[in-house]
Amino acid sequence: MEARVAILSGGAGELGRATAALLLAQGWRVLATDANAGALEALATTHQGAALLTRQADATDPDQVAAAVALAQDSFGRIDALANVAGGAGPVRARHADELDLAAWTHVMDLNLRSAFLFSRAVLPAMRRQKHGRIVNFSSIIARGEKGPPTTVTGRLPYATAKAALIGLTSQMAKDLAEEGITVNAILPGLILGAQGTRIRSRFEALPEAERTGMMAAIPMGRAGTPEEVAAVVSFLFSDAASYVSGVALPIDGAYL
């Protein structure tokens, strides 16, 4: 069978890197996009070869998204799967709506929700022609809300709102595309810690010890997840084994929810 092709937005971040590594090991061809040129270069150095393409792109810019998707189509001849990994809570730490200006709100909403819409819209023509496709949206357990002050999530209110909206986007797209052989699912990662020096781990380790202990105590499994555990779920949802799974919002959180 011809090698299948996946696009990863935010492919040079912690979760994107783990997903790219697993898919490449399984024989996929991958286009990883990211706004961080240095991180993309590091990813390409780690996985040298024709199976991986990288493209610097702002996931909130429709022209840059369209150009990235066209690169995958032109280079690989098909597009089978999309993981909308790009996201984030922005640089502004705030708990309440009256502590956020509109620019901070819009930035987080665009980074998480607009990006997923733009990439999904761009890949659908190829997937509909093929009568086959897989889309996985990266939501979060924060979509269900989180009590207490913000911890590793900075702009929590817009982040929770965008991640909740992704669940609605997933549900509607799954129903709209089911007859065309395209599945659409969302995953809801919990506390996922990458290697030393990565963004979320650094934020976690900067918290007071009591807060770190409390976060771990709230997870029934008693530990954080790893990027590789998230990647494994994405790989399953991309696979033929998941052909009857669509419209789900699947927590990856150690039984937190």
**Cα separation, 188 vs 70, whole angstroms:** 29
- Residue 13 · residue 59 · CB < 8 Å: no
CA dihedral 140, 143, 148, 152 (to 10 degrees): 30
For 157, half-sphere exposure in the C-beta direction (CA atoms, 13 angstrom radius) is: 14
Percentage of the chain exceeding pLDDT 70 = 100
pLDDT(1) > 70: no
77: left (phi over 0), alpha (psi -120 to 50) or beta: left
- Residue 248 · residue 132 · CB < 8 Å: no
CA angle at 28 for the pair 9 and 224, rounded to the nearest 5°: 60
pLDDT(79) > 60: yes
The pLDDT score that the predictor gives to residue 150 is 85
Q: Which residues are catalytic?
A: 159
In which band, very low, low, confident or very high, does the pLDDT at 2 lie, cut at 50, 70 and 90?
A: confident
Q: If you average pLDDT over every residue of the chain, what do you get?
A: 96
The pLDDT score that the predictor gives to residue 180 is 97
The pLDDT score that the predictor gives to residue 133 is 98
- Residue 115 · residue 59 · CB < 8 Å: yes
**Cα separation, 221 vs 241, whole angstroms:** 27
Q: Which one-letter amino acid corresponds to residue 238?
A: F
- Which domains does the chain possess? 5-252 (3.40.50.720)
pLDDT(50) > 90: no
Predicted confidence (pLDDT) per residue in 147-188, tens digit: 988 888 999 999 999 999 999 999 999 999 999 999 999 999
In which band, very low, low, confident or very high, does the pLDDT at 62 lie, cut at 50, 70 and 90?
A: very high
Q: Which residue has the higher pLDDT, 257 or 75?
A: 75
- Residue 214 · residue 164 · CB < 8 Å: no
**Cα separation, 173 vs 53, whole angstroms:** 27
- The reported pTM is 0.96
27: left (phi over 0), alpha (psi -120 to 50) or beta: left
* Cβ neighbours, 10 Å, residue 213: 11
**Cα separation, 61 vs 142, whole angstroms:** 25
Q: How far is CA 240 from CA 85, 108, 129, in A?
A: 21, 33, 18
